[in-house]
Amino acid sequence: MPHTDKTIGAFFEDQVQRLPDHEFIVYPDRDLRFTFSQFDQRVNQLAKGLLAIGIGKGDHVGIWATNVPDWTTFMFATAKIGAVLVTINTHYRSFELEYLVRQADLKALVLIDGFRDHDYLKTVNELIPELGSCQRGRLQSKKFPSLENIIFIGQEKHRGMYNTRELMLLGDQYDDTELNAIKSSLDPHDVINMQYTSGTTGFPKGVMLSHYNILNNGYYIGERQKFTEADRLCLPVPLFHCFGCVLGVMAALTHGTTLVPLEIFDPLLTLAAVQKEKCTAIYGVPTMFIAELDHPMFDMFDLSSLRTGIMAGSPCPKETMRQVMGKMHCRDITIAYGLTEASPVITQTRTDDSIDHRVGTVGMALPEIEVKIIDPETGATLAPNQRGELCCRGYNIMKGYYNLPEQTAEAIDTEDWLHSGDQAEMDEDGYYRITGRIKDMIIRGGENIYPREVEEFLYTMDGVLDVQVVGIPDERYGEVVGAFIIRKEGSDLSEEDVIDFTRTRIAPYKKPKHVFFIDAFPLTASGKTQKYKLREIATEQLGIKVDLFKDETSDKPDSEKPSVTIHADLCKACGLCIVHCPKNILSVSDKINELGYPATIVTGDGCIGCANCYLVCPEPGAVTVVRP
C-alpha cells in the first residue's frame, strides 16, 4: 500500500504538531523564514480569506506567478479548503491564458504583475475589460462566465482585484468553524491540483491530480534521496511545474525537510543560497548545474553541505555528473523520469547507484508503481532490452483530463495502464532507458507543438475557412510550423496578416513560419486530410534540403576559420556539447527558457571544425558547424 491516505492539509498539520518550530520555508534573498507552525498560521488565515470571498471545495483557482513566497501559501490554503489549484506556465501569453481560464472553469485567478517582458496585469485587463468597472468579487465576464475573482499577490491595489493583504485581513475576521468543517469533509482521492499539458495529443489538457497522487509520489521521491528533517532543499526550479510543486514541495513536506526556494533561477543566487542556508540537496536540469559550475565566482562558495538532489529534464553528461558529485559534493545526486499524468515521477535512480546508471538510465520504478514496456502495435509486453512504449499503473495515475473523457480513455486503458507515449527499454536489472517519442507532434528546437492547438488558434482569425498545421523540415530548428489555409469566400487574407495575427497572441515557438493558401486539402478515401502530402507540397515549394553541415563558406577564402553556431531557439542546453568540445569554447548563457531553466549555449573563438558538438547534440538543427 502507498505511504499515506491522508489529505495534504491533514498530513501538513501532523508535521506542524511534530515539528512546530522547525523551519519549513526559507527565502534567503528576502531573509524570510517560516517555521511549520508560522506557515500553518498564514495558510489558515489565507484559507479563511478565500472562504470569505466565496471560494470553497471543488472550485478551481488558477495561479500565474513565479516562485514568490505566497505561491506555496496558496497551494496549501486551497488544499485545506478542497479547492483545486490550477498551475499556469509563467510564459503563457494571452491566447494560452484565455484557453486555460475558460477550459479549466476558473473561479479565481491569482497573479503577480508580470514576468520578464510580459505584463500580466495588462494581459488580464485586455482579456477581461470588465475589471475596469467592477467591484472586487463581483466580476461578471462575458468571456469567462465562471470567473468571479482576480487576486493580486502583493500589497498593491488594482481595480477589480483583491490583494493578498486584504484576503489575510478577511481571514482574520472569519470564524474557524467552516474551515474545520470543510477540512473534515475532504477525501484524499479528491482532485486538488491541475496542471496543463498537451498529454498524448492535441490541445493542452488539465491533468487532474489528487492529494493521494502527489503526496505519495512526493514521499517516494524523497525516500530515493534519503530525505529527513535534517535536510534543506535548494529549489530553483519553477513551482508551476511538477519538478517544483511535487518533486520539491511534496517531497520536503513528507520528510520534514526545509524548502529553500528561489523566485527565478540565477546561478549566483543559487550558490549563495546553498552556502547561506547550508543546503543538503539541490534540484535542477543539467544546464542549471553547468551554469553553477561554470560561474566565475563558483570557487568562492562553500558547498560542502550538499549531499543529494535531483537532476532531470534532459540527458546528463557524465562529466557534469562527476563534477556535481565532486566539486559540488552531491555524491548522492539522483535522476528522475516521469510525466504529469503520472503525478509525475515513475522511475528514479538511488543514491548508491553507479554513475553509469545515473547517467545512462532513468533508474528503477518507484515503490507501488508497476511499469512495463509494450509493443505499441500489439500491446504485448516485451522482454528486457526490447524497445517499446513505456506504460505504468498504480496510485500515481491521474484522475483524468478535466472534462475530456474521450482523451482520458485514450491515455489510460481499460486495465488502468497509463500509456506514456515514450519509447523506452528495460535492462535485466530493472533499469529503464528513454529512447525516443511515439506521439505524433511537431518538435521545433526541442519544443513540443501539437498541430491541433495551433489550428484551433488560427480558426479564430477572420478570413480562415479551414486550416491544417504540419511540421516542415528546417535546417536550423529541425522542424518549424507550417499552416495550410483555405480562405473564406471573398477573403484576401495574406501570409503577412497571419504572421501579424500570431505575433503577440501565442507563444513564439508555436507561430507558423510558413503560410500556404490552398483551395482544397488532399484527402484519403474516407475523407481524412493527408498531412504527409501537405508536407511534400511545402518541401517542394520551399526547395528545402537539409545538409549535414551548412556550407556558408563556399564563396570565402580557404583561410576562413571554422565556426560553430548554437541556435538559441532550438538548443535545450543539455551541456553535452560543452563536455565534448576539445577547445573549451562553449559555455552556458544566461538566457532562460519558458520553464525557467538556462535555455542555450554560447560560443567563443577557436573552433577547429571537429563537429563533436553537432554529433552529440540530441536536438535536430540546434547546432550548425561551418567548415571552410
Q: How many distinct structural domains can be found in the chain?
A: 3
- Residue 568 scores a pLDDT above 70: yes
On whether residue 553 sits in a domain, the answer given is no
Residues 466 and 372 in one domain: no
Residues 471 and 521 in one domain: yes
Residues 286 and 201 in one domain: yes
Any bridge partners for residue 364, and if so which?
A: 348
Q: Please tell me the distance from the alpha carbon of residue 386 to that of residue 550, in angstroms, as a whole number.
A: 36
Residue 628 pLDDT? 59
Q: Give the tens place of pLDDT for each residue, 218-270.
A: 999 999 999 999 999 999 999 999 999 999 999 999 999 999 999 999 999 99
What is the domain range of residue 504?
442-542
Burial of 408-427, coded b for 16+ CB within 10 Å and e otherwise, reads: beebbeeeebbbbbbbbbbe
Q: Which of 3-17, 27-41, 315-329, 506-520 has the lowest mean pLDDT?
A: 315-329
- Residue 199 scores a pLDDT above 50: no
Listed in sequence order, the DSSP H helices in 468-622 are 495-502, 531-542, 576-580, 612-616
For range 529-545, the mean pLDDT: 83
**381-385 contacts, C-beta under 8 A, 24 or more apart:** 382/425, 384/425, 384/426, 384/427, 384/428, 385/425, 385/426, 385/427, 385/428
What is the layout of strands, in order, in the sheet containing 464-474?
464-474, 478-487, 514-517
Q: What is the 3-state secondary structure (H, E, C) of 24-85?
A: EEEECCCCEEEEHHHHHHHHHHHHHHHHHCCCCCCCEEEEECCCCCHHHHHHHHHHHHCCEE
pLDDT band per the 50, 70, 90 thresholds, residue 554: very low
Residues 510 and 536 in one domain: yes
Residue 319 pLDDT? 77
Residues 221 and 355 in one domain: yes
Residues 221 and 87 in one domain: yes
Name the nearest CA neighbour of 433 among 497, 468, 463, 388: 388
- Cis bond before residue 508 (omega within 30° of 0): no
Residue 590 pLDDT? 66
pLDDT band per the 50, 70, 90 thresholds, residue 579: low
Residue 620 pLDDT? 66
Residues 404 and 481 in one domain: no
Please check whether residue 69 is in contact with residue 55, taking contact to mean a CB–CB distance below 8 angstroms.
no
Q: Which of 98-107, 114-123, 354-363, 466-475 has the lowest mean pLDDT?
A: 466-475
Half-sphere exposure of 626 toward its Cβ, with a 13 Å CA cutoff? Answer: 16
Please check whether residue 430 is in contact with residue 449, taking contact to mean a CB–CB distance below 8 angstroms.
no
Residues 569 and 518 in one domain: no
For range 445-470, the mean pLDDT: 83
Stronger pLDDT, 584 or 496, i.e. the higher one: 496
Q: Give the tens place of pLDDT for each residue, 380-407.
A: 999 999 989 999 999 999 999 999 999 9
Residues 93 and 207 in one domain: yes
Any bridge partners for residue 109, and if so which?
A: 62, 150
On whether residue 3 sits in a domain, the answer given is no
> Cell match 504572421: residue?
499
Residues 333 and 233 in one domain: yes
Please check whether residue 299 is in contact with residue 323, taking contact to mean a CB–CB distance below 8 angstroms.
no
Residues 497 and 600 in one domain: no
CATH code of the domain containing 616 = 3.30.70.20
The backbone torsions φ and ψ at residue 470, rounded to the nearest 5 degrees and listed phi first, read: -135, 165
CATH code of the domain containing 532 = 3.30.300.30
Q: Give the tens place of pLDDT for each residue, 133-172.
A: 999 999 999 999 999 999 999 999 999 999 999 999 999 9
Of 490, 512, 542, the domain-final residue: 542
Residue 528 pLDDT? 55
Q: Which of 25-29, 80-84, 353-357 has the lowest mean pLDDT?
A: 353-357
Query: Could you give the C-alpha distances from 378 to 375, 381, 388, in angstroms and in order?
Result: 6, 9, 11
**Averaged confidence pLDDT in the chain:** 89
On whether residue 558 sits in a domain, the answer given is no
Please check whether residue 120 is in contact with residue 126, taking contact to mean a CB–CB distance below 8 angstroms.
no
Residues 92 and 224 in one domain: yes
